[in-house]
Structure 1
Amino acid sequence: MGQSVSRDDFEWLFTDQPHKDRREKILNLHPEIKELFGFNPTFKWHVVLLVLFQIITIPIVCQLKWPHLLILAYFFGGVINHVLSLAQHEITHNMAFGNGRPSANRWFGIFANLPLGVPMSASFKKYHILHHRYLSVDGIDPDLPTSLEAKLFCTTLGKLLWVVLQPLFYLLRPILVCPLQISRLEVYNVIIQFTFDAAVVYFYGWKPLVYLISGTLLTMGLHPIGGHLIAEHYMFRTGFETYSYYGCLNALTFNVGYHNEHHDFPAIPGCNLPKLRVIAREFYDPLPHHTSWIKVIVDFILDPSIGPYARVKREKLQ
């Protein structure tokens, strides 16, 4: 899907993001879509099972040799942790308990954070809101790569390194690009997470904690499931800033691949996004999309027309 064009700067646009306009048009033609709004009542139980499974495996993991531990983290434990990180995305949109119980969603997010090893739930909430509200706005949208990233990692080898280091950029970029005041919930998130981590080390040693954290970080980088971090907004076709993915991994990831649909209707839970696409097919079928996250990663690294510069940016209003 890449185009052979030279990229030495971002694609600067002076129009508003397309999702607001498309949402209005879809609702005018298909008002029945409002019936898809709400939350998924079974979602929280899936999350609980994943968290408990990761905790139950801790005594087993501490018996593994280090090479086997890291391999298992990459191919298995890390996949579960990545799914839990995408559960954070759903929880951020109040899909665990609904909009009427925001506090329950926030505390449930901290619970779902435990196997990840690093506190992220409360911080992800406030920065993800910026991503939706100010999509592609320079200096506000924390998902945008910085100019320094784009300059340093524009070659094939550089892009490979950038993909490997993507967890570092993803975690640090928000507080460097658009730092926000630390909330009380973030402090609680840190205290609870580090208490859990300390308990794991005290009772079972360092191996299980390394297993959990390494799995979290490895699957955000050069890993098939981590391909969604590139697929969602990197510009594989000039002028299109959001891309959906229609492939089998959606079954594991709460349909995060339906990304155009999600940005159009963030109030619709992941389980209902395929229904949205079917109802409003005339809007979504013409849009460029992905069918493989592995291909996304390969194309990003090897195609000279794609890289950190391949992003839409908008000027920040003064």
Structure 2
Amino acid sequence: MGQGVSRTDYEWVYTDEPHATRRKEIMAKYPQVKKLMGCDPNMKYKVTALILMQLIACYLVKDSSFLTIFIVSYCFGGVINHSLTLAIHEISHNLAFGHSKLLWNRWLGIWANLPLGIPMSISFKKYHLEHHKYQGDVDKDMDVPHELEAKLFTTTLLKFVWLLLQPVFYALRPLVVNPKPVTLLEIANTIIQVIFDIIIVYTMGWRSLIYLAFGTFTAMGLHPVAGHFISEHYMFVKGYETYSYYGRLNWITFNVGYHNEHHDFPSIPGCNLPKLKEMVPEYYDNLPCHNSWCKVLWEFIFNPDIGPYARIRRRRKERLENMNETPKNE
């Protein structure tokens, strides 16, 4: 690997994020977009099918060698678990049962969480909605790497390591930058997850639990499906902060690749996002996009212009006003 050094600061802007403006324009021109909003009535069945697949796989690998478990985890189980994390993403927007049944969505998220091995569904929702509301904000958007991450992981080799450890940074970053009180649902999420893990170990053995946990870790790091973490908001083209991906991996990731579309209309379920793009092509066809998550990962590692610093960041207007306010006694 080469050792080219990446950029040394974020791309700072003092404008609002683009999605609210584009949403208003589209809604004014295409009011029929409202018909795409709502929920995915099949989400509960999709999630349950993925969980059953993982339970069958747990049984099949319970007596396998660790090498076999690691290979199957990376190539199969990790893909299923990553798909479940993206189901949790959909559910965090109440796209399974709608906004009138909030608790139903939360419990389905906890159900989808089970094969992941670690509790994350409720905590993810708590921070993810702020990513939409405060995109790029220095204090609120936990999707943006912390400055310490960006400073440390600047060379080709270190960016490779950062990708491997990406799930660790995603888990720890909110606790460092923007800690929030633990909620009762988070406690329930944790207790249910621990009980499920104990049942897996008791009925099938430690190897089955290792299969689940290793799949979760590897598929959120240096893995083709994890390419969406980088493709969504890292600045590959100057001035553009959100990118869509229109490749085949959308089939197993609830269309998370349609990311400009998702940020413009987070109330539209993933199953309808391709319909949105077809309905308003003039708003999306000319935006820079990705067609390969593997290529995205390659570019991130080897292109010195791309790295943890390659993010658009903004400060909230009220903070800027306070910074620029002249004291009355001067």
What TM-score results when the alignment is normalised by the length of structure 2? 0.93
Count of residues in correspondence between the two structures: 315
1:212-251 to 2 correspondence within 5 Å?
212-251=212-251
Tell me by how many angstroms 1:292 deviates.
0.2
Cα deviation for residue 205 of structure 1 reads 1.7
Q: Shift of residue 5 of structure 1?
A: 11
User: Which residue of structure 1 lines up, in the alignment, with residue 44 of structure 2?
Assistant: 44
2:102 aligned partner, one-letter code: P
| Maintained 8 Å contact 2:6/2:155 | no
Q: Which residue of 2 aligns with 1:177?
A: 177
Amino acid aligned to 1:157: L
Is contact 2:5–2:155 with CA below 8 Å preserved after alignment? no
- Quote the residue 2:131 is aligned against: 131
Query: In 2, Cα distance between the equivalents of 1:297 and 1:59?
Result: 33
CA distance in 1 between counterparts of 2:8 and 2:256 reads 30
Q: State the match for 1:315 in structure 2.
A: 315
The answer to whether the Cα contact below 8 Å between 2:5 and 2:156 also exists between their aligned partners in 1 is: no
Percentage of pairs with the same residue: 56
The answer on whether the counterparts of 1:110 and 1:122 sit within 8 Å (CA) in structure 2 is: yes
Are the equivalent residues in 2 in contact too, given 1:62–1:205 (CA < 8 A)? yes
Letter in 2 for 1:248: R
Give yes or no for contact 2:58–2:204 (8 Å, CA) kept in 1: yes
The one-character-per-residue Cα deviations of 1:271-306 (angstroms, maximum 9, x if unpaired) are: 100011111111111110000000000000000110
TM-superposed CA distance for 1:200, in Å, is 1.2
Q: Which runs of 5+ in 1 are unaligned?
A: none
Residues 142-165 of structure 1: per-residue CA shift (max 9 Å, x gap) = 101011111110100011111111
| Greater alpha carbon shift after TM alignment, 47-56 vs 80-89 | 47-56
Mapped to 1, the partners of 2:238 and 2:134 lie a distance apart of 20
1:90 match: 90
Task: Report if aligned partners of 2:5, 2:154 keep a CA contact under 8 Å in 1.
Answer: no
Aligned to 2:263: 263
In 2: Cα distance, 1:134 partner to 1:5 partner: 29
Aligned to 2:168: 168
1:38-77 aligned within 5 A: 38-77=38-77
Q: TM-score, normalised by structure 1?
A: 0.97
2:204 — aligned with what? 204
1:177 and 1:15 map into 2 onto residues whose CA distance is 23
Which residue pairs with 2:302 in the alignment?
A: 302
- CA deviations 1:106-128 (Å, max 9, x no partner) are 00110110000000001001101
RMSD: 1.3
Any gaps of 5 or more consecutive residues in structure 2? 320-330
Moved more, 202-211 or 245-254: 202-211
Indicate the residue corresponding to 1:287 in structure 2.
287
Give 2:166's aligned amino acid. Q
How many Å apart are 1:6 and its aligned residue? 6.8
For the Cα contact (< 8 Å) 1:143–1:174, is it kept in 2?
Answer: no
